[in-house]
């Protein structure tokens, strides 16, 4: 994963074309980049992020950012109850409990 200014890029190699290509992940907007070498790829990634930010600035729009940290989740009522009860047993809020459990995921 490439990282720059809070954005992350996922990269793949196209053997047939002989180049790396990638996309900035975790956004609704689409930002892509490509290069024939690692150095070229990294520079293309940074240039694409900078171009995107400039484009947003010119249009007076807020750039899309990776996840806000808010998650709307629907659970079966019995699962909701069990999670709540376990959080209470541990003296934690539902948010604290769920966050703790989800951070254990790789």
pLDDT tens column, 27-40: 888 999 999 999 99
Q: Residue 48: how many CB atoms within 10 A of its CB?
A: 20
Helix (H) or strand (E) holding 33: strand 32-35
What domains are there in the chain, each with its CATH number?
Answer: 2-58 (3.30.160), 71-106 (no CATH)
**Contacts for 25-30: CB closer than 8 Å, 24+ residues apart:** 25/66, 26/66, 26/67, 27/64, 27/65, 27/66, 28/64, 29/63, 29/64
Q: What percent of the chain has pLDDT over 90?
A: 78
């Amino acid at each position: 994963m490439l990282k720059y200014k809070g954005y992350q890029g996922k990269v793949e190699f196209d053997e047939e074309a002989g180049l790396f290509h990638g996309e900035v992940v975790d956004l609704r907007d689409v930002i892509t980049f490509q290069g024939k070498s690692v150095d070229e790829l990294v520079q293309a990634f940074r240039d694409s992020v900078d171009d995107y930010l400039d484009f947003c600035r010119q249009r007076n729009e807020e750039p899309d950012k990776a996840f806000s940290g808010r998650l709307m989740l629907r659970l079966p009522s019995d699962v909701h109850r069990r999670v709540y009860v376990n959080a209470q047993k541990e003296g934690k809020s539902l948010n604290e409990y769920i966050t703790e459990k989800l951070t254990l995921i790789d």
